[in-house]
Amino acid sequence: MRPHPLAAALALTLPLLAATPAAADPARPGAPAADCALAGATGWTDEGHNTDHTQFQQPLGTKHVLMVFVDFPDAPATGTPDDYYRQLAPAADWMRQDSYGRARLDIDPLKRWIHMPQAASSYGFERGITFEQHELYVKQAVQAADPYVDFSRYDMLYIVPTRTASAITFSPTYLYDPTTAGITADGRRIKWAVTFGQDMYHWGYKVADHETSHTFGLPDLYAFTATDYHRYVGGWDLMGDIAGPAPQHLGWERWKFGWIDDRQVACLPAAGSRTVRLRAVERPGGTKIAVIRTGPTTAYVAESRRAVGGDARACSTGVLIYQVNTATPTGEGPIRVVNGNPGATPPAGCTALDLAAYQPGQSFSDPTTGVRIDVVERGPLTDTIRVTRQ
């Protein structure tokens, strides 16, 4: 099966790795974090822990990214490559902060315009763009740039069109198809590329972090259909709303990426209860998430969120609770935030779901799964909760 650029994935097939035990609560020992890890079950990008890192990039270490600037016969270049590079360069600092320094983007701009052989309007950059059309675009950009650069030095590409290329409407991610000849340059297979479009001027530099996260195996958390595109996670994760008020990656995804260690996960895989002190995911250290497993592909997750770092504009702070289902396809809500304050009126710049964080004295319960989460205490960068499963 060939991936649609928006879905940006193929089947995930590697087995779950063994995990080290999670840190124990003061009152009782905790279950190993591996007992709360969920396998992906969509055959596409998903929130499962068994990401195939022959198909997707390992989200650890430095990723060497070549930035190529392209223009077209029907859209000649305007401005200098430096102008475009400066718009996207902050994505590197954002990724470093979001990952606690565990993932870094080394973006190297090829400071010249590369002339594409076809009109911008000929590539089919619409929501129905095919894999073949998208691969042709990447291939022609690589071929045109090949005389000026050694592609063997890079892990992935950022292809940035001139702003006059209005036909390049959005910014899909290219993921290679290992069953085809694909694209090769300087002896290296081109596996991953982000092809930027006009939407970069709406979303800003974090569109690069969003699309790069697809090369790491993440799905989209916004809805592909209906008018309320951000009904699943609001502005709590850039895989949902790139320009949201608190767009840093959710703790579950940080664990999937290896940015959070197993010892930072409090796992409740069966009936029982435990008290957990969570440290805000925006800051390193401490227990980051409490996971209550409810089935082979489902769990509830609680984490502490604060208006610091990349989440400085958060509309609410406290305990964020969400449900994960690794069998739910991209664009259909594989993560769904629970709104702890459904009656609150959101201020300007916020949505109702952006006010979802729970405060001390509040609790969440799901009678169907027997899950209950009580918020006990709040500190400057911590929240203490009691998690129970009947």
Q: What is the rounded distance in angstroms from the CA atom of residue 368 to the CA atom of residue 376? A: 23
Spell out the per-residue pLDDT of the chain, length 390, in tens. 333 333 333 222 222 223 333 333 333 458 999 999 999 999 889 999 999 998 999 999 999 999 999 999 999 999 999 999 999 999 999 999 999 999 999 999 999 999 999 999 999 997 679 999 999 999 999 999 999 999 999 999 999 999 999 999 999 999 999 999 999 999 999 999 999 999 999 999 999 999 999 999 999 999 999 889 999 999 999 999 999 999 999 999 999 999 999 999 999 999 999 999 999 999 999 999 999 999 999 999 999 999 999 999 999 999 999 999 999 999 999 999 999 999 999 999 999 999 999 999 999 999 999 999 999 999 999 999 999 999
Residue 124 in contact with residue 160, Cβ under 8 Å?
Answer: no
pTM for this one?
0.91
Q: What is the rounded distance in angstroms from the CA atom of residue 368 to the CA atom of residue 346? A: 29
- At 47, is the secondary structure helix, strand, or coil? coil
DSSP state string for 20-46:
PBPPPPSSSPPBBGGGG-----SSSS-
Q: What is the rounded distance in angstroms from the CA atom of residue 36 to the CA atom of residue 57? A: 23
Structure tokens at 307: 């208006």
Burial group, residue 136, by CB count within 10 angstroms (0-12, 13-18, 19+)? middle
Other CB atoms within 10 A of residue 52 CB? 14
- At 309, is the secondary structure helix, strand, or coil? helix
Other CB atoms within 10 A of residue 304 CB? 31
Q: Which residues contact 356 (CB under 8 A, 6 or more apart)?
A: 234, 236, 316, 320, 321, 337, 338, 339, 340, 341
**Sequence ranges of the domains in the chain:** 33-52+230-389, 61-215
